[in-house]
């Protein structure tokens, strides 16, 4: 399944930004076991490249395992070397440009119409509307009017209620960090993570 198809089918990207590398790895594996196959590990978290490398070895080549907070060209190359097959940026710039050059799926951060036009021209795979909470679902709906065919993935402050509202407003998927992950990536409760994973999976399934 290509990334476009995976986004449209799953409609949920889990975002891990942990300060405990071992806990972050356990979080990746728990999410995968819970049936969430689109997982992003932020490079701003502790030992992120090592987490990606270990998770890739465990999950195999078919899993969608992304690197987030890709800011520089070196970030993109390092993430690809670690086994990431999805690169996620908070905005446009060298990280997004190198990610596209590498030929991997790219979820690039945008907020304004001008950034949407620039990202589409760059050839990114999907548009990470970030920080989505600035405008909420109403802003996404307004933004989709001039760009009806582009795949938007709102990220930032997306809880279960907001996830449903964004999907209803036309998002192809949502990206969810702390409302889903909680404290799991910092050594917290995995049972709670499993409960939240089931909740978000149900919401995003419609």
Spot the catalytic one: 10, 97, 128, 199: 128
Distance CA 197, CA 95 (A): 30
Beginning with the edge strand found earlier in the chain, give each strand of the sheet holding 12-16 in spatial order: 152-154, 126-129, 106-110, 86-89, 64-68, 38-42, 12-16, 174-176
Q: Where are the alpha helices (DSSP H) in the chain?
A: 3-10, 21-33, 48-59, 73-82, 94-102, 113-122, 136-144, 160-168, 178-181, 190-205
Q: Catalytic: 58?
A: no
Q: Catalytic: 128?
A: yes
Q: Are 39 and 28 in contact (CB under 8 A)?
A: yes
CA 51 remoteness from chain centre: 16
Spot the catalytic one: 10, 40, 97, 98: 40
Half-sphere exposure of 12 (CA within 13 A, CB side): 31
Cis peptide before 131 (omega within 30 of 0): yes
What are the residue numbers of the active site? 40, 128
């Amino acid at each position: 399944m290509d990334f476009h198809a995976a986004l449209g089918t799953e409609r949920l990207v889990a975002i891990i930004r942990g300060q405990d590398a071992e806990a972050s790895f356990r979080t990746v594996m728990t999410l995968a076991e819970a049936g969430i196959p689109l997982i992003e590990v932020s490079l701003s978290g502790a030992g992120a490249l090592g987490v990606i490398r270990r998770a890739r070895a465990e999950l195999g080549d078919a899993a969608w395992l992304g690197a987030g907070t890709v800011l520089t060209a070196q970030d993109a190359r390092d993430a690809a070397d670690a086994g990431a097959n999805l690169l996620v940026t908070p905005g446009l710039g060298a990280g997004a440009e190198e990610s596209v050059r590498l030929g991997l799926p790219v979820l690039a951060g945008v907020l304004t119409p001008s950034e949407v036009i620039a990202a589409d021209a760059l050839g990114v795979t999907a548009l990470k509307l970030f920080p989505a909470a600035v405008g909420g679902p109403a802003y996404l709906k307004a933004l989709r009017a001039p760009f009806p065919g582009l795949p938007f993935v709102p990220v930032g402050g997306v809880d279960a209620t907001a996830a449903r509202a964004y999907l209803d407003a036309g998002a192809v998927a949502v990206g969810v960090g702390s409302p889903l992950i909680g404290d799991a990536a910092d050594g917290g409760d995995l049972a709670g993570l499993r409960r939240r994973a089931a909740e978000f999976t149900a919401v995003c399934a419609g």
